Amino acid sequence: AQRVTQPEKLLSVFKGAPVELKCNYSYSGSPELFWYVQYSRQRLQLLLRHISRESIKGFTADLNKGETSFHLKKPFAQEEDSAMYYCAPPRLGSNYKLTFGKGTLLTVNP
Amino acid sequence: EAGVAQSPRYKIIEKRQSVAFWCNPISGHATLYWYQQILGQGPKLLIQFQNNGVVDDSQLPKDRFSAERLKGVDSTLKIQPAKLEDSAVYLCASSSTGVRTGELFFGEGSRLTVL
């Protein structure tokens, strides 16, 4: 079955420390993957998509086909990065729709 | 640009009662989604519309949930009768078609508590 796994429900780091939020997928081929973020009291919103190879708010994510992973990384975490992060691959087919992982709650401590 | 609007923001009902949620997507977005987010879990897709047609409702509990998007714009999601396990945040999202960006724009959600 096509699915994504976020193995960590909670992740706590100190400000300035590197952070990596893990996401593994079980798709074949080259899936398009996304990271969504939900800050406290805000809407769920797109953080970044791997296809654009962009860096948003210092975060990057590389698709590793060998490990079937799409981990989200940031070299120096900030307190404002504290949020819920969801890895989201599409359900394959002509109709584009996203399924979400269970999410990782990141807490960046001062 | 106005975002996705949802109402009501909060609703408390007793089990076996009915409830309806409303969503107005971003203007021009042909695709509309309803997600259910139970506390501690990721959003789960309930139904997807393309204009006023249903694309995917495979995870919609059709014995109690129904949704419509009659004119291809606004949508309503109804639960009748509600069960305790329906307590969740119901998220509406929209996206434009023809662009495989995968970006969904979400509303603030409607939080349902079933007592």
In CATH, the number for domain A4-109 is 2.60.40.10
Give Cβ neighbours of residue B9 (< 8 Å, ≥ 6 apart). Answer: B108, B109, B110, B111
Write down the pLDDT at residue B99. Answer: 43
Whether residue A92 is predicted with pLDDT greater than 70 in this model: the reply is no
Q: Do residue B102 and residue A49 have CB atoms under 8 angstroms apart?
A: yes
Rama region for B62: left / alpha / beta (φ>0; ψ in -120 to 50; rest): alpha
CB contact under 8 A, B102 and A98: yes
The answer to whether the CB atoms of A103 and B42 lie below 8 A apart is yes
Contact of B79 with A73, CB cutoff 8 Å: no
Q: Which amino acid is at B63?
A: D
Pick the most confident of A39-43, B28-32, B42-46, B111-115. Answer: B111-115
d(CA B36, CA B46): 7
Of B99 and A36, the one with more pLDDT = A36
Q: DSSP string of B16-63?
A: T--EEEEEE--TT--EEEEEEE-TTS--EEEEEEETTEEEE-TTS-TT
User: How confident is the model at residue A1, as a pLDDT?
Assistant: 55
In chain A, which residues have their Cβ closer than 8 Å to the Cβ of B109? 43
Taking the CA of residue B74 and the nearest CA in chain A, the distance in Å comes to 19
Q: Which residues pair with A46 in a beta bridge?
A: A36
Domain boundaries, chain A: 4-109
pLDDT tier at A72 (50, 70, 90 boundaries)? Answer: very high
B90-113 pLDDT, tens digit each: 999 998 864 455 688 999 999 999
* Close Cβ partners of A25 (under 8 Å, ≥ 6 residues apart): A2, A3, A4, A5, A31, A33, A68, A69, A70, A87, A89
**Which tokens is B103 given?**
């970006």
Give the per-residue pLDDT at B71.
87
Q: What is the mean pLDDT of chain A?
A: 86
Q: What is the pLDDT of residues B62-88, one digit of tens each?
A: 999 999 998 889 999 999 999 999 999
Choose from A28-37, B18-27, B94-103 the range with maximum mean pLDDT. Answer: B18-27
When pLDDT is averaged across residues A29-40 and rounded to a whole number, the result is: 82
Mean pLDDT across B39-67: 91
Contact of B104 with chain A, judged by CB distance below 8 Å, is answered with yes
User: pLDDT tens digit string along A16-25?
Assistant: 999 999 999 8
For residue B52, give both structure tokens: 């006023």
pLDDT of A80 reads 96
d(CA B92, CA B104): 10
Domains of chain B with CATH codes: 5-98 (2.60.40.10)
Q: What is the mean pLDDT of residues B20-41?
A: 93
Of A39-43, A67-71, B11-15, B108-112, which range is least confident?
Answer: A67-71
Question: Rounded to an integer, what distance in angstroms lies between the CA atom of residue B69 and that of residue B54?
Answer: 9
Instruction: Count other C-beta atoms under 10 Å from residue B47's C-beta.
Output: 24
Rg of the Cα trace of chain B?
13
pLDDT on residue B14: 97
pLDDT reported for residue A3:
75
